[in-house]
Structure 1
Amino acid sequence: MNRPRLFLVTPPEFDTADMAEKLKQAFTGGDIACVMIYRPGASTKDLQAAASELVPIIQEGGAAAIVYRDTQAAGRSGADGVHVDTSLEDLKLAVESFKPDRIVGTGGTKLKHDSMEWAETGVDYIFFGKLDLPEKAEAHDRTLASASWWAELFETPCVALAGNTLETLGDVAATGADFVALKDAAWQPDTDISSVIAEANRILDAHPFPEVE
């Protein structure tokens, strides 16, 4: 697929049974490359329990299941990988433990030098955008600038976080990011998530990567 792919991020708090149904509906809407199970406040036990139920649904949908920060919960739930953004040392340990059989991603770096240093550990992607900040309608200017810079210069794939409306997907895709992350916009109350995913893919289809000569 020669254009950015969709990277879903769950809300920080959710009912697991409800999320399972929403994910099943999401996959009927079209292509999803990855789903990050994002529950930063959960204990390892609770996160592992949720992931054990959600990971098979994500994998059956054809996407990679990534657990946020918790390598133990990721490993025991059968997830495809883990996202580690706590420190460079934690990231190195995750790469050593999970690679090459599973995915390791990172993000949250503040400086360009840090982004390059963290990517040099051998991660599968670097994520631009703050997961723990309230989302605005538009993607953050810094996220767009970082993704554009990275996509132009580096081979390690990057993920860029959109705002909380679907209209921002085009702006993010235009950076050349390999993946566009959608968080709040996917889980709005009284929203048909299947339609959201279909519309997101329609927008991404309009932003093919430049042909390589």
Structure 2
Amino acid sequence: MIEQDLTTVNRPRLFLVTPPEFDLAELTGKLDQAFAGGDIACVLIYMPGANTKDLQTTAETLVPIIQKGGAAAIVYRDTQAAGRSGADGVHVDTSLDDLKLAVESFQPERIVGTGGTKLKHDAMEWAETGVDYLFFGKLDLAEKENAHAKTLSSASWWAELFETPCVALAGNSMETLAEVAATGADFVAVKDVIWQSDRDTSDLIAEANKILDAHPFPDIDQT
């Protein structure tokens, strides 16, 4: 499962999302470099238009890099590609039935995450399947500078009331990480702000972690 080690990390952690389309050699270099910048909890291999064969081939290259960096490698939607590539888990948001099947097949050895629910009732129902995290934010929308208002409100609501960890998608600026961290979300997801920048990815990850360090969880007893 994706869990916080509260003895050492008492604030949100980074959840990287790959761009939907990319040059594998270029992304491999950036991803390898990113881990030099500090803590990364997870990397979601997000290729919504890829077939199982192409996704599996790509994952077989990326998964070892992610795992070597100490992060969990999650494959988007495709349980076959996730299983065959040795990924740590799968993100399933197609239907409640698909999610239940993934939970039954993958847990407890591997991670199952979900998201994309439109209603609070749906979010609670999907979380009841026993998923390891709930993702707030639309992966298929063009990113703006700030996180979507609904993402922020949903993450704040969830973090306050429920135990299942939640991930909240930030916008495409570094400043947006602070507003997402302030919701109390367990993980802050970033995509364009990392991959579309001309800066060294290790510097970006270091800056992101510094921002998150300033947002410790207020309800954890550190005594």
Question: Is residue 155 of structure 2 the alignment partner of residue 147 of structure 1?
Answer: yes
Query: What TM-score do the two structures reach when normalised by structure 2?
Result: 0.94
State the alpha-carbon separation in 1 of the partners of residues 47 and 220 from structure 2: 39
User: What are the residue-to-residue correspondences of 1:184-199 with 2, within 5 Å?
Assistant: 184-199=192-207
Question: Is residue 35 of structure 2 the alignment partner of residue 64 of structure 1?
Answer: no
Q: What secondary structure sits across from 1:208 in the alignment?
A: coil
Q: What secondary structure sits across from 2:37 in the alignment?
A: coil
Cα offset, 1:195, TM superposition: 0.7
State the alpha-carbon separation in 2 of the partners of residues 56 and 120 from structure 1: 31
Residue of structure 1 in register with 2:110 after alignment: 102
Q: Deviations over 1:181-211 (max 9, x none)?
A: 0011011142211111000000000000014
Structure 1 unaligned regions, length at least 5: none
Q: Deviations over 1:109-158 (max 9, x none)?
A: 00000000000000000000000000000000000000000000000000
| Length, aligned pairs only | 213
Q: What secondary structure sits across from 2:129 in the alignment?
A: coil
**Paired residue for 1:84, among 77, 86, 92?**
92
Query: What TM-score do the two structures reach when normalised by structure 1?
Result: 0.99
Q: Deviations over 1:30-65 (max 9, x none)?
A: 100000000000110000000000000000000000
Q: What secondary structure sits across from 2:188 in the alignment?
A: strand
Greater shift, 115-124 or 18-27, is seen at 18-27
Q: What secondary structure sits across from 1:12 in the alignment?
A: coil
Write the letter of the residue equivalent to 1:55: V
Q: Contact conserved, 2:10 with 2:220, CA < 8 A, in 1?
A: no
State the alpha-carbon separation in 1 of the partners of residues 56 and 220 from structure 2: 42
Greater shift, 15-24 or 133-142, is seen at 15-24
Structure 1 segments, 4+ long, off by >4 Å, are none
Cα offset, 1:97, TM superposition: 0.4
Residue of structure 1 in register with 2:3 after alignment: none
Question: Is residue 223 of structure 2 the alignment partner of residue 212 of structure 1?
Answer: no
State the alpha-carbon separation in 2 of the partners of residues 19 and 39 from structure 1: 13
Q: Percent identity?
A: 80
Structure 2 unaligned regions, length at least 5: 1-8
**Paired residue for 1:122, among 118, 130, 141?**
130
Write the letter of the residue equivalent to 1:34: C
Residue of structure 1 in register with 2:185 after alignment: 177
Superposed CA RMSD in Å reads 0.7
